[in-house]
Amino acid sequence: MGSSYRLFVCFLLWGSLELCNPQPVWHDESQHLMPSKPPAVMVECQEDQLVVTVSKDLFGTGKLIRPADLTLGPDNCEPLVSMDTDTVVRFEVGLHACGNSVQVTDDALVYSTFLFHDPRPVGNLSILRTNRAEVPIECRYPRQGNVSSWAILPTWVPFRTTMFSEEKLVFSLRLMEENWSAEKTTPTFQLGDRAHLQAQVHTGSHVPLRVFVDHCVATLTPDWSTSPYHTIVDFHGCLVDGLTDASSAFKTPRPRPETLQFTVDVFHFANDSRNTIYITCHLKVTPVDRVPDQISKACSFSKSSNRWSPVEGPVDICRCCNKGRCGVSGRSRRLTHLEGQSVPRSRRHVTEEADVTVGPLIFLGKTSDHGVEGSTSSPPSVMLGLGLATVVSLTLATIVLGFTGRRRTASHPVCPASASQ
């Protein structure tokens, strides 16, 4: 009777006897696990090149893109026609090709670029049915150990070659956390945030050196010679971004001579819909015992005192920032770069230098978005709704109380009291 009772209860609860008869469970992954859909963009970091495989269903809508609308890197490298199939498009480029940028960190070499999807109208049509897209591509290679498949060469190289490799400097520019304790894990920002940047030189066996940020510019691509652009540091170390409504400044004092830290208020280009920027800085070093001057300095503008002040060195070295003429030529490092003028060889012996790019910095929103405007106007609407609800509730309560009072009066009539004899 016990088993019949249980079957009756199961039938009442679930409406079927099949749920009351447990079947043996077979752990067959092929039957229970749905096949995972491959990602739309796959990157393979090889020894000397990167391979990018792009699904033609890039947006997952079933609408296939055209391979001719895909390019890789600032140099707009085209995909391999021989590797084009019905479902995927393939790129195979060298690590230093297509305008790829390289960043050196303490433990890795980071090669980064972008995959661009720029649809164009077909034939005589003037409409598009797919969106423009930019996909960040990144390959990281550890600096510890031998990453090459070739055998390690014996140490019989000439003495001059050995000395050259020992004196070669490695520059880096990294995004840091707000407390400067570690590198920032994600490059995402909200407009109004402050980016913490750290310039550093790894000296190795070199004599002690002091690093300076000679010039910095922000662009929409890793190529710092493109437009639009915004100059952050100019005139051999003047942080001119702090002259505007920003609070950008160098951090004082330095943690070490080979490290220079500074903050930049996050911004975006007003006439462009892209939400990413790159920051490229020209870094250089001087011997640590050399006194900073107008050519090698780090100066910030203070709005409270309305004057420039250096991280170290005499105060007079920052006065040239007001006129924008520092050093012999007094010309912007960006102008020198665009005109193709190279740094004299004699100067390279005195100050080693390099251009380093950090990015992309990705912005998650803008303060002028319609969503923000709607949120600012919502509190008055909510208060008005609450006020109307309160008035309606009080009105209903008054009607109910009045109706209840009349019913009580009708059910209990009051009789006049007779006078006692």
Is residue 225 one of the residues assigned to a domain? yes
| 100 and 58, same domain (yes or no) | yes
Amino acid at 212: F
List 175's β-bridge partners, or say none. Answer: 197
If asked whether residues 173 and 232 sit together in one domain, one would say: yes
On whether residue 151 sits in a domain, the answer given is: no
Residues 21-63 have pLDDT tens digits of 444 444 444 444 455 567 888 999 988 899 999 998 888 878 8
Residues 6 or more apart whose Cβ sits within 8 Å of residue 96: 102
Distance between the two ends of the chain, CA-based, in angstroms? 82
| Prior bond of 228 cis (ω within 30°) | yes
CA–CA distance from 375 to each of 59, 184, 277, 287, 386 (Å)?
30, 30, 28, 55, 17
The number of domains in the chain is: 2
Confidence of residue 370 (pLDDT cuts 50, 70, 90): very low
**CATH number assigned to the domain comprising residue 243:** 2.60.40.4100
Residue with the larger pLDDT of the pair 370 and 36:
36
Measured at the CA of 368, the angle between CA 113 and CA 366, to 5 degrees, comes to: 25
Question: Cα separations (Å) of 100 from 49, 70, 314?
Answer: 11, 16, 40
pTM score above 0.75? no
* Residue whose entry in the numeric block shows the structure tokens 């030189």: 201
Q: Are residues 134 and 86 in the same domain?
A: yes
Q: Kindly compute the dihedral angle of the four CA atoms of residues 264, 267, 268, 269, in this order, to the nearest 10 degrees.
A: -80
Residue 346, domain member (yes or no): yes
If asked whether residues 301 and 342 sit together in one domain, one would say yes
Specify which residues 280 forms β-bridges with.
217, 357
DSSP 336-382: HHHTTPPPPHHHHHH--EEEEEEEEEEE---TT-HHHHHHHHHHHHH
Residue 310 pLDDT > 90 = yes
Closest CA to 128 of 59, 74, 79, 76: 59
Q: What is residue 122's three-state secondary structure?
A: coil
Residue 328 has pLDDT above 80, yes or no: no
Residues 78 and 218 both lie in one domain: no
Tens-digit pLDDT profile for residues 188-219: 888 888 999 999 998 766 678 999 999 999 99
Three-state DSSP state, 26: coil
Mean pLDDT of 297-319: 94
Q: Does some domain include residue 230? A: yes
Is residue 364 one of the residues assigned to a domain? yes
The CATH number covering residue 106 comes to 2.60.40.3210
Domain assignment present for residue 9? The answer is no
Band the pLDDT of 274: cuts 50, 70, 90.
confident
Domain that holds residue 103: 38-144
Is residue 394 included in any domain, yes or no?
A: no
Peptide bond into 360 cis (omega under 30): yes
Helix (H, G, I), strand (E, B) or coil at 6: helix
**Do 341 and 221 belong to one domain?**
yes
**8-state DSSP, 77:** B
Residue 143 banded pLDDT, cuts 50, 70, 90: confident
